[in-house]
């Protein structure tokens, strides 16, 4: 998977309706709905390293908590990615909640926290405006399945189930340590 922070920043620049001035949060929380058009979906597909983005949308509510900005909401996407087993195109559906705190300076406590915390700056804050599209793209990247599987891919064997693994692989599975295992089993106790 590509790092969602890499690539051309201009390729996912949001429209004025989805870029919220940070100063506006001083008076009241703001909410933005984002729906990617065809050109934006192509840019997001490139950023995420997927074959296609069929749909991409989200809702983000931004508010202030002290000096920090809190982003809460939801991202929804339909991605087409190669199956990790068959390499055939497989659709992945993402529907994930967002609970992100953006802070001016990360502390050691922030680094150890289970809370999702990032720096309030680029790529989230550009020219005094909070980039809702960037928040959504990064959350989608975090929600992606590391090894997507097509529905018709061979079932994943249970951990430690060598018999099922051999059957799944058609008994042609390469086992580089099989000879060592046999040698250890044949080794007399006491050596």
Reported as a single tens digit per residue, the pLDDT across 137-180 is: 999 999 999 988 888 777 766 666 555 444 444 455 667 777 77
pLDDT at position 168, please? 46
Where are the extended beta strands (E) located within 85-175? 89-103, 116-119, 125-126, 129-131
Q: Are residues 166 and 90 in the same domain?
A: no
| Encoded tokens for 134 | 């960037």
Phi and psi angles of residue 71, each rounded to the nearest 5 degrees, phi first: -110, 120
pLDDT at position 184, please? 78
Q: Are residues 62 and 19 in the same domain?
A: yes
Q: Are residues 168 and 75 in the same domain?
A: no
Element housing 81 (H / E):
strand 68-82
Mean pLDDT of 66-89: 91
Q: Are residues 169 and 124 in the same domain?
A: no
**Domain interval for residue 67:** 9-143
The overall average pLDDT reported for the chain is: 79
Q: Which of 28-32, 154-158, 179-183 has the lowest mean pLDDT?
A: 154-158
Specify whether the backbone of 172 is left (phi greater than 0), alpha (psi in -120 to 50) or beta. Answer: alpha
The residue with tokens 């087409």 is 80
2 inside domain = no
Q: Are residues 167 and 134 in the same domain?
A: no
Q: Are residues 98 and 184 in the same domain?
A: no
Closest CA to 10 of 115, 150, 122: 122
The residue with tokens 């793209």 is 137
Q: Are residues 175 and 102 in the same domain?
A: no
CA-based Rg of the chain, rounded to a whole angstrom?
23
Q: Which of 35-39, 69-73, 181-185 has the lowest mean pLDDT?
A: 181-185
Neighbours of 86 (CB within 10 A): 13
Q: Are residues 134 and 167 in the same domain?
A: no
148 inside domain = no
Phi and psi angles of residue 63, each rounded to the nearest 5 degrees, phi first: -145, 165
Q: Are residues 26 and 67 in the same domain?
A: yes
């Amino acid at each position: 998977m590509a790092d969602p922070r890499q690539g051309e920043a201009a390729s996912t620049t949001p429209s004025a309706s989805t870029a919220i001035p940070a100063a506006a949060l001083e008076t009241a929380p703001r909410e933005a709905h984002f729906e990617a058009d065809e050109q934006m979906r192509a840019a997001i597909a490139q950023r995420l390293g997927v074959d296609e983005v069929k749909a991409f949308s989200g809702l983000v509510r931004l508010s202030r908590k002290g000096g920090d900005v809190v982003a809460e909401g939801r991202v929804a996407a339909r991605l087409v990615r190669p199956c990790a087993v068959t390499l055939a195109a497989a659709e992945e559906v993402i529907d994930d909640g967002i609970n992100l705190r953006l802070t001016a300076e990360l502390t050691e406590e922030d680094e150890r926290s289970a809370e999702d915390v990032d720096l309030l700056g680029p790529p989230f804050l550009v020219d005094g405006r909070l980039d809702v599209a960037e928040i959504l793209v990064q959350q989608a990247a975090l929600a992606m399945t590391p090894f997507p599987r097509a529905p018709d891919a061979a079932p994943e064997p249970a951990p430690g189930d060598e018999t099922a693994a051999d059957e799944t692989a058609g008994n042609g599975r390469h086992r580089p340590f099989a000879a060592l295992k046999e040698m250890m089993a044949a080794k007399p106790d006491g050596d």
